[in-house]
Amino acid sequence: MLDTPFPDKYLDDISGDPSANYFTPIWDEVCAEVSFSSILDIGCGNGLFTTALKKRFPCTLFGVDGSTYALEGAKKSGFDDVRLVKDLSSQSLPFLDGKFDMIVCKDVLEHLLDPEYLVSEMVRVVKVGGYLLVQVPNHFSLYGRLRFLFTNNIDTWHYYVDSDRWNFPHVKFYTHKDFLEMFRKYNCVLLKDFSHYFLSIPKRRYLPKALDKKISLFLTRRWPSQFAQGFTILVQKQ
């Protein structure tokens, strides 16, 4: 993994309040569809996005991150075991084959020089029939392209507002098709696509909720690379 302008202070700004966890609706759907007792969160940070699962049902929660500061926070928030892995593009995950029921990898692959190496490692340590919930950003939606055109800044979503405009830690970019194909190569099948939760349309918050949902589903299912702010999928290892 590349050195990135992501100081520890950013982790301190991430709220532990469940209401601030925008991933909650996705967890609601995942938990209604599948069951699991052991989870590995890759790039776990302080644990905000996965510790909520322990309140829903008994599960053992493992975390991997390249920051000792992040892992300390994850441990405090309820992770059962955490491991330091500095370079996910080249270092093996420190677990036996087929150990986990579920792997979560949120906003990690875009930081790696060799993301497929990590995908192969995730497939190795998840059980046959186990699940991978993976998310990457989509910088080049129609809205993102317009922002890039007028700002000359690849950070189209202002993730790193304190950094120089080209000092950006994302080195891999995906279309929706490429993202799905990468997992098909490793014998994983798509169970559910949650990309409609992150629609890239300005001022959509002013739409009535029912209409917003219908528009989101239609646009992101028909043209995900053009309208989804990020791609989030649940796949199963065959």
Secondary structure element (H or E) that encloses residue 191, with its range: strand 188-193
CA atoms within 13 A on the CB side of 182: 24
CATH homologous superfamily of 8-237 equals Vaccinia Virus protein VP39 (3.40.50.150)
Closest C-alpha among 203, 69, 51, 38 to residue 131: 38
What CA–CA distances, in Å, run from 51 to 84, 89, 133, 146?
A: 18, 25, 15, 36
Tell me the backbone φ, ψ of residue 115, rounded to 5 degrees. -65, -30
Which residue ranges make up each domain of the chain?
8-237
| Residue 4 confidence (pLDDT) | 43
- pLDDT by position in tens, the chain (length 238): 444 445 565 666 665 555 567 788 889 999 998 989 999 999 999 888 888 888 788 899 999 999 999 999 999 999 999 999 999 999 999 999 999 999 999 999 998 999 999 999 999 999 999 999 999 988 777 677 777 777 766 665 555 556 555 556 777 889 899 999 999 999 999 999 998 777 666 556 666 666 666 777 777 777 777 778 889 999 999 9
Q: Which residues contact 45 (CB under 8 A, 6 or more apart)?
A: 11, 14, 65, 67, 70, 73, 74
